[in-house]
Amino acid sequence: MRGWQIDTLGHPARLVTLPDRDPARGEARVDIAACGLNFADLLMAEGKYQDRPALPFVPGLELAGTVADLGPDTAGPAAGTRVAIYAGHGGLAERGCFPVDSLIPIPDSMTLAEAAGFQIAYGTSHLALEYKARLQKGETLLVLGAAGGVGLTAVEIGKRMGARVIACARGAEKLQIARAAGADEVIDSDHPDLKGALKALGGVDVVYDPVGGDAFDAALRATRPDGRILAIGFASGTVPQVPANILLVKNITVIGFWWGGYLAFAPQVLRDSLATLMRWYDEGGLRPHISHRLPLERLPEGLELLRSRAATGKVVIETA
């Protein structure tokens, strides 16, 4: 089977022929149809992500496909069942073996391409906004990087939760995409005075920040007393240094959030969130946005779309 493999950190992945293997006990072999790309794929390839698989490894954190067969003495979804999987790695290949408890059957109404890019983006925004920040109806939510993979879902979910949503993204096209997802107000991230623009809109109660850098600093200073700031990621490349005096004076809480970490210490919280999100999708309440669907051999192009921040919503690599 074909698949991408990283042999050395900091060097590009190679498209190679990989050995196929039978699933072990507790595993399912899955014919992979699509893999959603994430900014974490870039970091993992450089050894800069918190999860570091042993070399060599097949990248690709999340995927969707069809169950081919199960390992010996293993109960799980029947062959032919369409599933989504958060694997951590292994998604950028034509087949793979994964623990059966990581398989999530997907609704008939959901395409495999949508399922491949659904779990991390929607799961991150739902758990972060509802479980961690306790976003309330009527509060003002600021979403930085609002046209990106996770940012766009935060706009959509924040609006569904009854918040007034301010979306911050670069350029008129991305701002229009954020507005179509439900944003009430939009601000270009190149605005010369982001703090002033946010204060002119009345300030914010909750900040959803997958960007970091200067945008975090501006958002902090526009956050109202008793506000909450979600540190989701650092796509700008700069990790903010938080001035604790501002937190103290304004009673602001900064909340770190890593969706994948819940698999280790609170997996049921994550599963319950995904069950809710799958139901919302099946009811027609969520509309995943995929800006690019590329074949397996064009993975480098897909990664460059993330690196250059040229994509909106999700980039999906299709293997079948």
Could you read off the pLDDT of 122-160 as tens digits, one per residue?
999 999 999 999 999 999 999 999 999 999 999 999 999
- Least trusted range by pLDDT, from 27-31, 34-38, 112-116, 232-236: 232-236
Give pLDDT tens digits for 289-299.
999 999 999 99
Instruction: Specify whether 148 is located in the same domain as 221.
Output: yes
Phi and psi at residue 249, to the nearest 5° = -65, -35
- Average pLDDT of the residues of the chain: 96
Residue 91 tokens read as 């998604």
Instruction: Specify whether 226 is located in the same domain as 140.
Output: yes
233 domain-assigned = yes
Question: What pLDDT was estimated at residue 85?
Answer: 96
Instruction: Specify whether 131 is located in the same domain as 108.
Output: no
CATH number for the domain that contains residue 47: 3.90.180.10
Give pLDDT tens digits for 161-205.
999 999 999 999 999 999 999 999 999 999 999 999 999 999 999
Give pLDDT tens digits for 88-101.
999 999 999 999 99
Give the separation between CA 223 and CA 234, rounded to whole angstroms.
Answer: 19
Question: What pLDDT was estimated at residue 138?
Answer: 98
Question: Is residue 95 within 8 Å of 112, Cβ to Cβ?
Answer: no
Residue 265 tokens read as 């210490």
For 294, other C-beta atoms within 10 Å of its C-beta total 16
Question: What pLDDT was estimated at residue 25?
Answer: 97
275 domain-assigned = no
271 domain-assigned = no
Task: Tell me the CA distances in angstroms from 186 to 148, 177, 230, one per residue in order.
Answer: 14, 10, 19
Question: What pLDDT was estimated at residue 51?
Answer: 87
Give the separation between CA 66 and CA 270, rounded to whole angstroms.
Answer: 22
Instruction: Specify whether 20 is located in the same domain as 143.
Output: no
282 domain-assigned = no
Instruction: Specify whether 16 is located in the same domain as 78.
Output: yes
Instruction: Specify whether 128 is located in the same domain as 98.
Output: no
194 domain-assigned = yes
Instruction: Specify whether 85 is located in the same domain as 156.
Output: no
Kind plus residue range of the DSSP H or E element containing 290: strand 290-295
For 315, other C-beta atoms within 10 Å of its C-beta total 26
Question: What pLDDT was estimated at residue 23?
Answer: 97
Among candidate residues 120, 124, 143, the one with its CA nearest the CA of residue 38? 120
Question: What pLDDT was estimated at residue 279?
Answer: 94
Question: What pLDDT was estimated at residue 219?
Answer: 97
Give pLDDT tens digits for 225-266.
999 999 999 989 899 999 999 999 999 999 999 999 998 899
Could you give the number of structural domains in the chain? Answer: 2
270 domain-assigned = no
CATH number for the domain that contains residue 225: 3.40.50.720
Residue 50 scores a pLDDT above 90: no
Instruction: Specify whether 111 is located in the same domain as 138.
Output: no
Question: What pLDDT was estimated at residue 55?
Answer: 95
Instruction: Specify whether 101 is located in the same domain as 142.
Output: no
283 domain-assigned = no
Instruction: Specify whether 129 is located in the same domain as 243.
Output: yes
Phi and psi at residue 153, to the nearest 5° = -70, -30
Question: What pLDDT was estimated at residue 73?
Answer: 96
Residue 320 scores a pLDDT above 80: no
264 domain-assigned = no
Structural domain including 216 reads 122-258
Q: What is the pLDDT confidence band of residue 269, given thresholds at 50, 70 and 90?
A: very high
Instruction: Specify whether 171 is located in the same domain as 211.
Output: yes
Question: Is residue 170 within 8 Å of 215, Cβ to Cβ?
Answer: no
Residues belonging to the chain: 320
Instruction: Specify whether 126 is located in the same domain as 254.
Output: yes
What are the residues facing 6 on neighbouring strands?
57
Give pLDDT tens digits for 309-319.
899 999 999 99
Question: What pLDDT was estimated at residue 228?
Answer: 98
Q: Is 49 helix (H, G, I), strand (E, B) or coil?
A: coil
Question: Is residue 198 within 8 Å of 222, Cβ to Cβ?
Answer: yes
